[in-house]
Structure 1
């Protein structure tokens, strides 16, 4: 396995601490973190879906928790395995704990369990106050706020 030294990035960047921490953590991923298998897909411009293969689990066996930018998915079967005598057990029934690091302003909008696949829908909703805004230069000192009007450059209106 290749290892990457991200120390030079720490020295030359400001405000990317979380991203660089994620890169460092990626090197230390445990093999058990790959179970259950999952897909992450982009559904629309600001919408995503995580699909996990959780065959044998019921909705009440799975718990989803979002805390800030972390989504925690845990599963623990509460079935009556003592009643069955298995000759071969190929469907895993072990408990799992999967953590997903989400970008800022990404929220879980829904979850469903169908045909052994858990689908978690996510949407990025940036608050209006944090969206990019145009800032006017000079002039009135009382002008505070956002100005997103088209700019009319003098001389261009007469040239057209």
Structure 2
């Protein structure tokens, strides 16, 4: 039995991939760690829209963070090692943690770079302006 969705309309052809992406996003992690912001930076002439994802990763070093692109998905991982075995805590509220945060990227989005500063990991993305293409289709008669 096939599933009926809004993208199943006969007027929307070739949107199967979008439907799969929406399913992947819906099944994504609902964990709120680490918190993040997404902001639009001022436009520049050469790059079009520039977006910045900022994650609060206080306590993580550059070596404990990994940013990668996996099949149009930006994946950020953090791995801390619990090396406090020789220490005696009276209260421990800061635990060594691991996380994975994923963002599905649209086709054509470019990753400009990543920077770690003051406990914030900033990843800049560019969305180039699409070229307007108008193509006349010749009609033939038989």
Short-chain TM bin: 0.7 to 0.9
Higher strand share: 2
Q: 1:47 aligned to 2:45?
A: no
Choose which of 13, 34, 37 in structure 2 pairs with 1:36.
34
Unaligned segments of structure 2, at least 5 residues: 44-48
Aligned to 1:21: 20
CA 1:108–1:44: 2 relative to 1, 3 Å: same
Rounded Cα–Cα distance in structure 2 between residues aligned with 1:124 and 1:62: 24
Q: 1:131 aligned to 2:131?
A: yes
CA positional deviation for 1:97: 1.1
Choose which of 75, 87, 105 in structure 1 pairs with 2:108.
105
- Give me the TM-score of the superposition, normalised by structure 2: 0.75
CA contact (8 A) 1:39 1:52 kept: yes
Segment of structure 1 superposing worse, 83-92 or 53-62: 83-92
CA 1:134–1:113: 2 relative to 1, 3 Å: same
CA positional deviation for 1:119: 0.6
CA 1:68–1:30: 2 relative to 1, 3 Å: closer
- Give me the TM-score of the superposition, normalised by structure 1: 0.67
Choose which of 4, 8, 24 in structure 1 pairs with 2:5.
8
CA 1:92–1:131: 2 relative to 1, 3 Å: farther
Q: Deviations over 1:40-73 (max 9, x none)?
A: 1111341101111111001111011113411111
Equivalent residues in 2 for 1:50-89, closer than 5 Å: 50-78=53-81, 80-89=83-92
Rounded Cα–Cα distance in structure 1 between residues aligned with 2:115 and 2:90: 32
For this pair of structures, how many residues does the alignment match?
Answer: 129
CA positional deviation for 1:106: 0.9
Max radius of gyration: which structure? 1
- Residue 7 of structure 1 aligns to a residue whose secondary structure is coil
CA contact (8 A) 1:55 1:91 kept: no
CA 1:18–1:85: 2 relative to 1, 3 Å: farther
Unaligned segments of structure 1, at least 5 residues: 1-5, 139-160
What is the root-mean-square deviation in Å for CA atoms of aligned residues?
2.5
